[in-house]
Structure 1
C-alpha cells in the first residue's frame, strides 16, 4: 500500500476552501462540505460507541457501518463513483438487522428518552448525529444530484442506531427511559 497522505499540514485550506476528489476547490462553508463533515462526525461518534461497548454483537455490526460511512463521505467528495456508491443491498442489510434486533425487544408503547446504559446513550447520540447528517445530505440534494440511496441509507441507519440503543439497554439489564408527558 502506498502512502495516501504524506503531508498533513498543507496550508491549502487557509483561505477557507478545501479540495474535492476531482481536485476542484470549494468553500468550507458549502452544503457539500457541511454534509461531508456531518458524515465524518457520525463516523467519529460511532467510533466512540465502539470504544465503549462491551457487547460484541453491537461492535461487530458497527464495523461495516463505519466503512460504509467513509464511502458515503468519499462519494459526496466526488471520488470514483463506481467504487464507492452504496446501493440497495446496503439498505436491505440494515433493514434485516433492524428487524432481527427489534424482534427481540419489548414492544414500545411510549416514546423513550436517550439514556439508560452508557452504550445506549452513546448510540442515541450517534442516532441524533445521523439525523443531522441526513438533513445535510437532503439540503445538498436540493442543490446537486445525490444518489437517493444515500438519503435512504442514512434514514435506515438512524433507525438501526435506535434499535441498537434499545438492545444495549437490554444487554446491560437497564430499562429504557420512558417520556413522562
Structure 2
C-alpha cells in the first residue's frame, strides 16, 4: 500500500466513515492537534527511558491520544469499534499528579517555561494540549463530542505542567517565578 493517495491534493480529506471534508475543518484541526501532541508525548517518553513508571504512563497517554484522535476523526453519526476515554483514564492522571506534587515545593507564582531542555519539552506539550482542548471545545460547540475527551485533555495539560515541575527538580533546573512589574 502506498502512503500517498493524491486524494487530498485539492485540500480535502476523508473522515472515518468516508465523508470528505476540507482540511481546514475544525474536526481535522482538532484531531491533527491531538496527533501533534502525541508526537511531543513521544519526545517526553524518549527522555524518560530510565523511568519505567513514567514511560509506561506516557505510553498509556499516547494510546489514549490515539483513541481521542480516532473518535474525533469519525464522521458524525458513524459508529466504529473505537474504545472510549473512561473516567478511570482521567483519575489516573489526577493520581499521578497527586503523587508528583508530594515532592514539589508549593506553587506561589506562575513559572516561566524553561530551565532545562526536558522541562521546555513538557511545557511545549502542555501548550499543544491546551490547543487540542480548545479545538475540541470549538468542535463541541457545533457537533457532539464526548465530554470525557475535553476533561481528559484538560487534565492532561495539568499533568504536563506538574511533570514539568517534577522534571525541573530531577534535572536540578531553576524554576523561575513570573514576577509582574
Task: Normalising by structure 1, report the TM-score.
Answer: 0.91
Q: Which residue is 1:32 aligned to?
A: 27
Unaligned runs of 5+ in 2: none
1:147-158 map, 5 Å: 147-158=146-157
Q: Which residue is 2:161 aligned to?
A: 162
Q: Which residue is 1:139 aligned to?
A: 138
Query: Does 2:72 align with 1:76?
Result: yes
Per the alignment, do residues 23 and 94 of structure 1 end up closer, same or farther by CA in structure 2, a change over 3 Å counting?
same
Deviation at 1:80, TM superposition (A): 4.9
**In structure 2, what is the Cα distance between the partners aligned to 1:54 and 1:102?**
21
After superposition, the CA RMSD in angstroms is 1.5
Q: Which residue is 2:106 aligned to?
A: 107
1:1-150 map, 5 Å: 6-53=1-48, 55-56=50-51, 57-78=53-74, 80=79, 82-150=81-149
Q: Which residue is 1:3 aligned to?
A: none
Query: Does 2:172 align with 1:176?
Result: no
Deviates more, 1:65-74 or 1:169-178: 169-178
Deviates more, 1:54-63 or 1:119-128: 54-63
Unaligned runs of 5+ in 1: 1-5
Deviates more, 1:118-127 or 1:77-86: 77-86
**In structure 1, what is the Cα distance between the partners aligned to 2:47 and 2:41?**
10
**In structure 1, what is the Cα distance between the partners aligned to 2:118 and 2:34?**
20
Deviation at 1:54, TM superposition (A): 5.4
**In structure 2, what is the Cα distance between the partners aligned to 1:133 and 1:127?**
10
Per the alignment, do residues 151 and 81 of structure 1 end up closer, same or farther by CA in structure 2, a change over 3 Å counting?
farther
**In structure 2, what is the Cα distance between the partners aligned to 1:10 and 1:66?**
26
Structure 1 runs (4+) deviating above 4 angstroms are 79-82
Deviates more, 1:23-32 or 1:42-51: 42-51
1:124 and 1:162 in contact (8 A); partners too: yes
CA displacement 1:118-144 (0-9 Å, x = unmatched): 111100110000000100000000010
